Amino acid sequence: MALFNFRAKAQTPATSGGALEAFLTGYSIEVMPRTAEKVEDFREILPTGTRVYIAHIEGTPIEDMVATARRIGDEGFSVMPHFPARIIKDKATLTDWVARYKDVGVRQGLLLAGGVAQPHGDFATSMQLLESGAFDGFDRLHVAGHPEGNKDIDPDGSDKMVMEAARWKSAFAERCDAQMAMATQFCFDAEPVIAWVNRLQAEGIKLPVHIGVAGPAKLQTLIKFAIACGVGPSLKVLQKRAMDVSKLLLPYEPTDVLTALAAHKAANPDFGIEQVHFFPLGGIKSNAQWVTENGGAAGKPARAA
C-alpha cells in the first residue's frame, strides 16, 4: 500500500468520493500560543466549531495559555488545552489552572502525562488528574492514545502498560459525566492503526478514537518530530522515503493514509475512529488549506460559510 502522496497539487483529487469528506468532518487541530499568534483570524482558515487543542509545552506561562484560549474561544471555536500531569506541581496549581480556564469559557481538556522524564510535583499520570476531581463540570475530557506503543511507558517494547491504562480510562469514562475520547500520537500507516483500533474494541475499550495525523510538511521536518515524539514503525517508512533524493525535497501530504482510513470507516461504520486530529507540523495555515482543498464541505472555513 502506498503511504504517501507526493504528487503536485494540480494532480491531487479533491476527495475520494464522499468517504474522505465524511471522515474529515469535525476534525480538530493543535496549536501553541506562539504558533497561534501567526494566525490573524482562525475564522479565515478553520470550519465553524472546530476543536482547537492548545499544547502546553514545559516553560509556557499559564497566562499565555489562557490568553490563547480566550482569543480562540472568542473567535467561535471549541478550545481544549493540554494538562500535562508531570509539569503540574500540586493540586493547588491544577485547581488554579482549571479555574483560570473556566473564567474564559473553557470546558474541555486533554489530560496526559506530558513529555518530561521526571514529575515536577505530585502528578505523574493522566489517571491521577482524572481522579483529582478538579475537572468536575467539564463537558469533555480527552486522554492520550498510542497506536504504536510508547517506550516511555513500556520500555520493553510491549504495550502492556499502555493497554492497562487504556482499560482504566475506559472504565473511568463509564462513571464520568464528561464525554471522553482517546486522542492519539500521529502515525503514517493505515494498516497498523486499523489493527490497533480493532484490538481496542475487541478488548472492551470503549473510548472513541480521535486519530492523530501529521499535516503537510517537509519530510525532514516530519522525521525530526517523529524521532522526538517516539513514533514507532511509521518512522521507518519516512526514513525509506528520505533515501530517495527525488522525493526528499517534495512535501508530504496525508492524502493516502487518510483515504485508506476513510475507506475502512465507510465500509465499517462501527469502526472506532470518531474524528481526525491534525498535528500541523508544517504550519497551521498549510494544514487548514490542505483540508479545505481535499475535504469538501468538511474543510470550508467559517468565514466562507
Domain segments of the chain as ranges: 18-296
Task: Give the orientation angle of helix 190-202 with respect to helix 255-267, to 10 degrees.
Answer: 40
**Over 70: is that where the pLDDT of 250 sits?**
no
33 vs 222, residue with greater confidence: 33
217 vs 154, residue with greater confidence: 217
pLDDT at 124: 95
pLDDT band at 2 (very low <50, low <70, confident <90, very high): very low
In the predicted model, what is the mean pLDDT of residues 91-97?
Answer: 98
37 vs 232, residue with greater confidence: 37
pLDDT at 189: 86
For residues 26 and 201, what is the distance between their CA atoms, to the nearest angstrom? 22
What's at 239, amino acid-wise?
Q
pLDDT at 249: 61
**Residue in this structure with the C-alpha cell 475564522, named with its chain if needed:** 43
pLDDT at 17: 55
pLDDT, tens digit (0-9, with 9 covering 90-100), for 175-208? 999 999 999 988 888 998 999 999 999 999 999 9
Domain at 18-296: CATH code: 3.20.20.220
Phi, psi of 229 (to 5 degrees): -95, 0
pLDDT band at 11 (very low <50, low <70, confident <90, very high): very low
In this structure, the number of other CB atoms found within 10 A of the CB of residue 159 comes to 20
Strands (E) located in the chain: 28-31, 51-54, 78-84, 108-112, 140-145, 179-187, 209-214, 273-279
- pLDDT above 90 covers what percent of the chain? 71
**Over 60: is that where the pLDDT of 69 sits?**
yes
221 vs 255, residue with greater confidence: 255
CA 305 to chain centroid, in Å, comes to 25
pLDDT band at 224 (very low <50, low <70, confident <90, very high): low
pTM value is: 0.87
pLDDT at 237: 53
**Residue in this structure with the C-alpha cell 488528574, named with its chain if needed:** 129
156 vs 6, residue with greater confidence: 156
